[in-house]
Amino acid sequence: MPDTRPPILDEIDRQLIAALQINARESVAMLARQLGIARTTVTSRLARLEKAKVITGYGVRLGQRVVDGGLQAYVGIKVQPRSGKEVLRRLSAMAQVQQLCAVSGEFDYVAWLRTDSPEQLDQLLDQIGSVDGVEKTTTSIILSSKIDRGQPV
């Protein structure tokens, strides 16, 4: 039976992850200097964190000027009972759905959408609303990002 417990992170793991969240391209040597540990320790910890799926990838965060080139919105989606799998399958096929989270509360899912224009957002919302099993949607357009800390550890 696989171990489903979350991995235990010590303070050095947390500091290493925080440094990578600031600059994922930082060299192992610089990370070692920042944390006051040996390069081999950084390398072995990174390998362990990757193997444990604590770190699942390294990416690029776009600047606000690039992100503002389009339109972003959050959409709360309420689905009919036993329709979740089909709704998930259909939303997965929509490239403008950047993220979909199952949530508690009034809605079953919250989707983060990105489109190029208000017209495209309108069409996408019509598509989502017409998916079999979708009962209700509520949309909030993102006007600006005030705080973005990435994903905390």
User: From first to last of its 153 residues, what are the pLDDT tens digits of the chain?
Assistant: 666 677 789 999 999 998 998 888 999 999 999 999 999 999 999 999 999 999 998 877 666 555 556 889 999 999 999 999 999 999 999 999 999 999 999 999 999 999 988 999 999 999 999 999 999 999 999 988 787 766 555
Dist CA 100 CA 14 (whole Å): 26
Query: Can you give the pLDDT at residue 22?
Result: 84
Tell me, what DSSP letter sits at residue 55? S
> Any idea which residue has 């060299």 for tokens?
27
Q: Using alpha carbons, select from 143, 19, 151, 24 the residue that is nearest to residue 73.
A: 143
- Structural tokens at position 4: 């489903």
- Phi, psi for 39 (deg, rounded to 5): -60, -40
pTM score of the predicted model:
0.61
Q: Counting every residue, how long is the chain? A: 153
